[in-house]
Amino acid sequence: MSQSSALIRKLRTTTDLDDDDIAAIERLPMVPRDIPAQEAIVREGDRPGQSCLLVEGFACRSKTADQGRRQILSIHIAGDIPDLQSLHLKVMDHDVTTLCRCKVAFIPHDALRSLCRERPAVAEALWRETLVDAAVFREWIVNVGRRPAPQRLAHLISELRERLRLVGLSTDDEFQLPMTQLDLADALGLTPVHVNRVLQVLRKDGLLEFRRQVVSLSDADRLMRLGDFDSLYLHQNPAT
């Protein structure tokens, strides 16, 4: 199983890539690296000359407002390239940090740029990836802007379940999630104390268990309904 297999699988579900396109992606120079948990891969202000393909593990993007109040902007899983935008935006405007031990593969921007020039279908697929990113950001604005805490949490968990399912990392009712309650709070615009209380309510309602970094759902449909979750914004349906 090559480093790029999760990426290729994802690109193929939504964009038509021929064998030459795939071969060209597989020929990309990649520097593998293992990164410990809670370590920055790139930071705000950096001018990276490469992008980072997440091969295994979880990472997140985040920004820090006044007085160190951190806001997580997105969660990333295998097959994602969380800093692909740095290909065209020179300076990082946020951090990318591992949530657990991760295997990543660094791809030089030069290589990506020539790949895009030679294989327009790949360029389009990568562009599309960044557009899906943006769609997820939009949904997160709604989440923190307009939903009360329990719905916010339900929405986040629903999104993660759906995305993990798409890459085969989640059964219907259970998945690994290496986040602390503090991380959840930073993703939801809440305090860790409040996240803890909301988790207790959802558990009491039989909607969600979260222990030892494992999420268990007994009734995922009900959770999605609570979170007002509609997977349209993930744009993963090949027909659309």
Site residues, DNA (CB under 7 A) = 148-150, 180-182, 189-194, 196-200, 212
Q: Cα–Cα distance between 201 and 154 in angstroms, integer?
A: 11
The closest alpha carbon to 74, from 145, 5, 137, belongs to: 137
Helix, strand, or coil (residue 177): coil
Q: Which does 22 bind (CB under 5 to 8 A by kind): its own copies, DNA, none?
A: none
By CB under 8 A, what part of segment 70-109 binds its own copies? 70-71, 73, 85, 88-91, 93-94
Answer for the pair 8, 26: CB distance below 8 angstroms, yes or no: yes
- Integer CA distances (angstroms), 222 to 44, 92, 218, 236, in order: 38, 38, 9, 22
Q: Which does 196 bind (CB under 5 to 8 A by kind): DNA, its own copies, none?
A: DNA
Q: Of 56, 124, 205, 219, which lies in the binding site for its own copies, with binding defined by CB under 8 A?
A: 124
Nearest approach, Cβ of residue 188 and DNA (Å): 8
Nearer to its own copies, 123 or 166 (CB): 123
Q: Cα–Cα distance between 106 and 81 in angstroms, integer?
A: 10
- Reading the block at residue 75, the tokens are 């969660």
Q: In Å, how far from its chain's centre is CA 141? A: 15
Helix, strand, or coil (residue 111): helix
Nearer to its own copies, 166 or 213 (CB): 166
Separation of first and last alpha carbons in the chain? 29
Nearest approach, Cβ of residue 98 and DNA (Å): 12
Q: Of 82, 105, 122, 140, which lies in the binding site for its own copies, with binding defined by CB under 8 A?
A: 140
Binding residues (CB under 8 A) for its own copies: these are 47, 61, 63, 65-66, 69-71, 73, 85, 88-91, 93-94, 116-117, 120, 123-124, 127-128, 130-135, 137-142, 144-147, 151, 188-189, 228, 232-233, 235, 240
